[in-house]
Structure 1
Amino acid sequence: MTDTPTRADFDRYMVPNYAPQQRIPVRGEGSRLWDQDGREYVDFAGGIAVNSLGHCHPVLVDALKAQADKLWHLSNVYTNEPALKLARALTERTFADKVYLCSSGGEANEAALKLARRWAHDTHGENKHKIVSFRQSFHGRTFFTVSVGGQPKYSQGFGPVPGGIVHGEFNNLDSVRELIDADTCAVIVEPLQGEGGIVPATQAFLEGLRALCDEHQALLIFDEVQSGMGRPGTLFAYMRYGVTPDILTSAKSLGGGFPVGAMLTTDRIAPVFKLGTHGSTYGGNALGSAVALAALEYIDTPEVLEGVQRRHERFREHLDTLNSKHGVFQGVRGMGLLIGAQMAPEYEGRAKEILPLAIEEGVMALIAGPNVLRMAPSLVIPEADIDEGMARLDRAIARFVESA
């Protein structure tokens, strides 16, 4: 390999389960990135809703450097101060009494689903094992979580899926009534579907799920891996709805770029995870916990959370203006700084064609399925960067329309 890796090296050395863009970023600061050739980009992708404070935010860099000189990893044979501080901070700021730390959102959801089944087994018996999920949902890439997720393309071809999993229609409470029964141990839902197209749950839907779970003695799990940690304009989306789950999962923005995940639950449920029932080699890692604590304390402030909604409105204004010129979207939806623009019927399924054009114009965006252009930028992205990035996106979409 040459001293400077190229995009061709990905195809040469990496398993082909990704198809990254041709440009390779090498440096980031705030909401700007620079590639190997020194080209600059405005980052609306945010590492897929991970870089909650942008790139190399000094609060996170300082936390990482300070902890790097003290302690990196111990394993769960021991505990460590950063992990304990992070767990305490999460419980003090949420409904939860107990926290399980891990390395990713998939791990957090795996833990949540196992906890729910173990709780139901120990509390009600082995028949209470059924899990209700929703079509178009996404909960991770472990075999259990892709099976629970409502997108069969992610589980097909890997053999028989785990049993006891059924899928209703998101935002359709009647579909849940047809599925939930005495054998249901849990309902898992994203308050804001991410990979399914940036679709917020309705107030009545989440309130109805809470009532159905209470009626059938099932647990309500909120997957807030993508929607949480300040992204909705509150620390977690459940706070915005006023509907409290029994279990909540977090990752992505929790670490601000460092791989961290967490499952939060209550004293009523947590005790069934007895010694040895579950674990994670890197869960509660001192480095990750120190960074996540710094991110949590910085994000959970009025200045940041109130700023999210202002930035949301600025994005919406730009998208409306852009769409009035080009007519590429049939609607814009989302919550806080997780925003989706659905393609108009004449451009159905072509959202991904905008991404390389956007890169060429100097702005990074995402898709959420084939039909939604997604933006998940830093929670503290400067308004000037929003304006500049949208101007670049405007040029990219103009080129897309011209070539369509």
Structure 2
Amino acid sequence: MSYLFQAYSRWNIHIKQAKGTIAVDENGKTYLDFVQGIAVCNLGHCPDPVAAAIKKQLDDVWHVSNLFQNGLQETVAQKLANNSAGDLVFFCNSGAEANEAAIKLARKHTQKTKIITFQQSFHGRTYAGMAATGQEKIKHGFGPMLTGFHYLPYNEPDAFNELSDEEDIAAVMLETIQGEGGVIPASGEFLQEVQAFCRKKQALLIIDEVQTGIGRTGKAFGYQHEGLSPDIITVAKGLGSGFPVGAVIGKQDLSAAFSPGSHGTTFGGNMLAMAAANATLDIIFEKRFLDEVSEKGECLREELQSMLQFPLVKEIRGKGLIAGIECKKPVQPLIEELQTEGLLVLPAGPNVIRLLPPLTVEKHEITEAVEKLNNVFSRHSTVKQ
């Protein structure tokens, strides 16, 4: 009997130890971990500089609440602002909390209510996050959703034509790569149309960087590949190297909407989270580090394209160190076989395998992972194209 709500379909793997790219289960079996807590452990498992920062903070102070001044928050906020289009930061505990706060901020600042999001998007499991998400399966059984959300087709610039007469639009919210929706990168044309539409309607542009931010795509934030200037950016996952932390980054002119008492969180920005985030950003926001992520991402896609030339494979896509392998049949059996091979990967919808190695992955580990993928795919495709 388990004393846990069965809210997760858990794999039959119990990880007892992990370091860098390698995870070890209770039986001593080792795995190349290309899940990394779902794009959380961007520096790999238990990175030494982050561990040292947390251990040091443990001996000083853990938590004092946001009633007090917090120099660590200021330090981390400055690093996020200096490496983004934003100026001000609100700290919380997760990506869902960050998206919830972003929706509140946009509505309060604009005094408008409609939020435009996209089909197959994913923005979290709070009520606002579910309402923003363009997947009905996320909302099933939870009753009426928060109103005011309108869903457009993703990656279709002409989709905004149907909203030409709408005036009550507070914001457009999107992911530059739909992670949960199938690892689908947005085109530059589409992203530029989104930004132009926001400016025309005096609506805010919210970029959900929960999965693509903090170096995952080879830049500090995914939107930077297309030269966008979002009003609000949400981050979490990779920000704390596994320590729970999220953040909303916004432009200066939004400051009045989050005045004292307007929004809050007990644990957001606590000392331990800030110590983890500060040490993480010191490494990831270095240009050389981000350049290496881009190089390794190219290596990953080239090897996937070269090795996985099977009829089963429909498309390989991604950017930096997030990659998706779309297949012509459900991928769950392949994921289970890959676990037997010693490679941990994720689904992204029923037919897509998602790869999220740590940003510190070595090229020989990329090659090893692709060889394991090739072994499994070859058993499911007897004839190459």
TM-score after normalising by structure 2: 0.96
| 1:290 alignment partner in structure 2 | 275
Question: SS at the partner of 1:83?
Answer: helix
Q: Quick one: which of 101, 105, 115 aligns to 2:95? A: 105
Identity %: 39
CA distance in 2, matches of 1:175, 1:238: 20
CA distance in 2, matches of 1:389, 1:273: 45
> What one-letter code is carried by the residue in structure 1 that aligns with 2:339?
I
> What one-letter code is carried by the residue in structure 1 that aligns with 2:67?
V
| 1:76 alignment partner in structure 2 | 66
Q: Quick one: which of 174, 185, 202 aligns to 2:158? A: 174
2:354 equivalent to 1:374: yes
Shift of 1:332: 0.5
CA distance in 1, matches of 2:263, 2:221: 25
Q: 1:43·1:365 contact (CA, 8 Å) conserved in 2? A: yes
Question: SS at the partner of 1:63?
Answer: helix
- Computed over aligned residues only, the root mean square deviation of the Cα atoms, in angstroms, reads 1.3
| 1:149 alignment partner in structure 2 | 133
Q: Quick one: which of 363, 374, 377 aligns to 1:394? A: 374
Shift of 1:93: 1.8
Question: SS at the partner of 2:262?
Answer: coil
Aligned residue pairs total 381
| 2:107 alignment partner in structure 1 | 117
Shift of 1:401: 4.5
> Matches of residues 1-12 of structure 1 in structure 2 within 5 Å?
12=2
Question: SS at the partner of 1:187?
Answer: strand
CA distance in 2, matches of 1:262, 1:291: 13
Q: 1:169·1:176 contact (CA, 8 Å) conserved in 2? A: no
> What one-letter code is carried by the residue in structure 2 that aligns with 1:351?
V
Q: 1:137·1:193 contact (CA, 8 Å) conserved in 2? A: yes
Structure 2: runs of 5 or more not aligned: none
Q: 2:312·2:380 contact (CA, 8 Å) conserved in 1? A: no
> Matches of residues 280-359 of structure 1 in structure 2 within 5 Å?
280-324=265-309, 326-344=310-328, 347=329, 350-359=330-339
Question: SS at the partner of 1:71?
Answer: coil
Question: SS at the partner of 1:268?
Answer: helix
| 2:251 alignment partner in structure 1 | 266
> Matches of residues 163-312 of structure 1 in structure 2 within 5 Å?
163-179=147-163, 181-312=166-297
Shift of 1:165: 0.8
CA distance in 1, matches of 2:195, 2:12: 45
CA deviations on 1:281-339 (whole Å, 9 max, x unpaired) are 11111101111111111001122111112211221222123322x33211111111111
> What one-letter code is carried by the residue in structure 2 that aligns with 1:147?
A
| 1:52 alignment partner in structure 2 | 42
CA deviations on 1:190-224 (whole Å, 9 max, x unpaired) are 01111111111111111111111111111010000
CA distance in 1, matches of 2:251, 2:302: 41
> What one-letter code is carried by the residue in structure 2 that aligns with 1:337?
L
Larger displacement relative to structure 2 (18-27 or 104-113): 18-27
CA distance in 1, matches of 2:8, 2:290: 33
CA deviations on 1:158-198 (whole Å, 9 max, x unpaired) are 11111111000111122123136211010001011111111
Question: SS at the partner of 2:253?
Answer: coil
CA distance in 1, matches of 2:95, 2:293: 22
CA deviations on 1:22-53 (whole Å, 9 max, x unpaired) are 11111111100100011110011121111100
CA distance in 1, matches of 2:161, 2:213: 27
> Does the C-alpha gap of structure 1 residues 154 and 388 become closer, same or farther in structure 2, counting only changes over 3 Å?
same
> What one-letter code is carried by the residue in structure 2 that aligns with 1:397?
F
Q: 1:255·1:292 contact (CA, 8 Å) conserved in 2? A: yes
> What one-letter code is carried by the residue in structure 2 that aligns with 1:105?
G
Q: 1:331·1:342 contact (CA, 8 Å) conserved in 2? A: yes
Shift of 1:400: 4.3
| 1:135 alignment partner in structure 2 | 119
Q: 2:308·2:377 contact (CA, 8 Å) conserved in 1? A: no
> What one-letter code is carried by the residue in structure 2 that aligns with 1:391?
E
CA distance in 2, matches of 1:187, 1:144: 14
Q: 2:130·2:145 contact (CA, 8 Å) conserved in 1? A: no
Q: Quick one: which of 80, 92, 96 aligns to 1:90? A: 80
CA deviations on 1:107-136 (whole Å, 9 max, x unpaired) are 000000000000111xxxxxx211100000
Shift of 1:397: 2.7
| 2:18 alignment partner in structure 1 | 28
